[in-house]
């Protein structure tokens, strides 16, 4: 195996970097943002466009070939297109995850740069949308999704399921995605600082499959070993859907992902409190490669070393992590 590749002590190859561009967001989703008033990072603490591209170049030298831009809400960055073109100049075509509400100003640029877009849409009901996001923007999100589909851009939909809130919309959401001809992925509710997570609120993989079985047979689709999503085909309709079962059926064995927070901290696992500051060394010209390698060698086998979400102690430990919005989705 090449010395330039990033491999942890369990032999997992890491070639996928998720970069948070900002912790700011125009939504206030309860599962992502802490209950208390959010204090956002000051601009001097954030990576600027040039620093993001430089960071990406270092990770690329270590074997990273896939990059996803996240947030907060990445479309709030005024220099978003500069970041995208800078990363593309390295030979990597980044993808993006967004809430879709303000994406209309970037659709032309995304289409020109062939950007894959994942849009978070947790409900199709206006009242529920306002309840979960504190914003009356469902119409804007749907309009932007439909415009990207019309342009034949590559779009996926992400849905975080919360028991008693939107679990009764699974079929409607599958039908909505099928009508658009796009894939949809259902994500189990995960614990982070300030999001009032309880295991009882998790709508599990098993329950999702049970609900979708109203269509009849469901066929699994073979996915890459490092896929976070179990993907399925509904033969009766031709629709495709995925399940990201982080809580009930973790997929750590094939993990290939690394994370970079908006303030330049490297995380080797979404649930790890172990962070390595890369931005400060970058700003004084230090070599980042040893720091990155040291961080990856500390990666635990499963979910930051804690394997049972259905455990009061583990839930407390996970809640000591950053909030989702401060990590990057």
Per-residue pLDDT tens digits for 163-206: 999 999 999 999 999 999 999 999 998 876 656 677 888 999 99
Query: Which percentage of the chain shows pLDDT scores above 90?
Result: 69
* Residue 169 pLDDT: 98
- Show the DSSP H helices in 249-288 as ranges: 279-283
Per-residue pLDDT tens digits for 83-102: 999 999 999 999 999 999 99
* Rounded distance between C-alpha atoms, residue 172 and residue 4, angstroms: 46
Residue 321: pLDDT above 60?
Answer: no
**Average pLDDT, rounded, for the chain:** 89
Three-class secondary structure of residue 258 per DSSP: strand
Q: Is residue 202 part of a domain?
A: yes
* Residue 312 pLDDT: 57
Is residue 49 within 8 Å of residue 84, measured between CB atoms? no
Q: Is residue 85 part of a domain?
A: yes
Residue 113: pLDDT above 70?
Answer: yes
* Rounded distance between C-alpha atoms, residue 298 and residue 315, angstroms: 21
Pick 55 or 26 by higher pLDDT.
55
For residue 205, report the phi and psi dihedrals to the nearest 5 degrees. Answer: -50, -45
Give me the DSSP letters along 21-77: --S--S---TTTS-SSPP-PPPGGGS--HHHHHHHHHHHHHTT--EEEEESS-GGG-
Q: Is residue 1 part of a domain?
A: no
* Residue 307 pLDDT: 57
Is residue 162 within 8 Å of residue 190, measured between CB atoms? no
CATH number, residue 220 = 3.20.20.70
pLDDT band at 1 (very low <50, low <70, confident <90, very high): very low
Q: Is residue 54 part of a domain?
A: yes
Q: Which residue has the tokens 């996970």?
A: 318
* Residue 2 pLDDT: 44
* Residue 322 pLDDT: 56
Return contacts of 32-37, CB within 8 angstroms, 24+ apart. Answer: 32/192, 32/195, 32/323, 32/324, 32/325, 32/329, 33/194, 33/195, 33/323, 33/324, 33/325, 34/193, 34/194, 34/195, 34/323, 34/325, 35/194, 35/195, 35/196, 36/194
- Show the DSSP H helices in the chain as ranges: 49-61, 80-88, 107-112, 126-133, 138-150, 170-180, 205-212, 279-283, 289-297, 312-319, 324-327
Per-residue pLDDT tens digits for 218-276: 999 998 878 889 999 999 999 999 999 888 887 788 899 999 999 999 999 888 888 99
Counting the structural domains of the chain, the total is 1
Q: Is residue 204 part of a domain?
A: yes
Nearest to 61 by CA among 7, 15, 10: 15
Q: Is residue 116 part of a domain?
A: yes
Per-residue pLDDT tens digits for 11-24: 999 999 999 999 88
Pick 246 or 73 by higher pLDDT.
73
Nearest to 244 by CA among 195, 202, 274: 202
Three-class secondary structure of residue 279 per DSSP: helix
Q: Which domain holds residue 199?
A: 6-327
Ramachandran sector of residue 54 (left: φ over 0; alpha: ψ -120 to 50; beta: rest): alpha
Q: Is residue 220 part of a domain?
A: yes
What does each C-alpha distance from 35 to 26, 89, 164, 191 come to in angstroms?
16, 40, 19, 13
Per-residue pLDDT tens digits for 136-152: 999 999 999 999 999 99
């Amino acid at each position: 195996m090449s010395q330039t590749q990033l491999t942890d002590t369990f032999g997992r190859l890491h070639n996928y970097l998720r970069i948070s561009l900002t912790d700011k967001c125009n939504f206030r989703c309860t599962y992502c943002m802490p209950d208390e008033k959010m204090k956002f990072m000051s601009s001097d603490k954030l990576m600027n466009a040039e620093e993001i591209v430089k960071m990406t170049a270092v990770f690329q030298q270590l074997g990273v070939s896939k990059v996803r831009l996240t947030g907060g809400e990445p479309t709030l960055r005024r220099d978003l297109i500069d970041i995208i073109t800078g990363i593309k100049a390295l030979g990597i075509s980044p993808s993006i995850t967004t809430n879709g509400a303000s994406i209309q100003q970037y659709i032309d640029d995304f289409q020109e740069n062939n950007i894959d877009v994942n849009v978070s849409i947790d409900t199709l009901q206006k009242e529920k949308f306002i309840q979960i996001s504190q914003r009356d923007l469902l119409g804007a999100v749907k309009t932007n999704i439909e415009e990207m589909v019309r342009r034949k851009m590559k779009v996926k939909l992400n849905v975080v399921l919360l028991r008693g809130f939107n679990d009764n919309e699974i079929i409607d959401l599958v039908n909505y995605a099928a009508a658009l001809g796009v894939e949809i992925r259902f994500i189990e509710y995960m614990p982070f600082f300030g999001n009032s997570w309880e295991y009882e609120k998790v709508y599990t993989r098993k329950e999702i499959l049970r609900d979708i079985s109203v269509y009849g047979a469901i066929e699994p689709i073979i996915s890459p070993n490092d896929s976070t999503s179990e993907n399925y085909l509904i033969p009766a309709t031709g629709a495709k859907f995925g399940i990201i079962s982080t809580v009930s059926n973790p997929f750590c064995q094939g993990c290939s992902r690394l994370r970079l927070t908006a303030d330049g901290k490297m995380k080797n696992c979404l649930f790890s409190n172990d962070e390595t500051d890369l931005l400060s060394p970058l700003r004084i010209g230090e070599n980042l490669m040893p720091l990155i390698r040291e961080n990856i060698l500390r990666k635990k086998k499963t979910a930051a070393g804690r394997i049972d979400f259905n455990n009061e102690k583990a839930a407390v430990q996970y809640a000591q992590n950053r909030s989702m919005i401060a990590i990057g989705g």
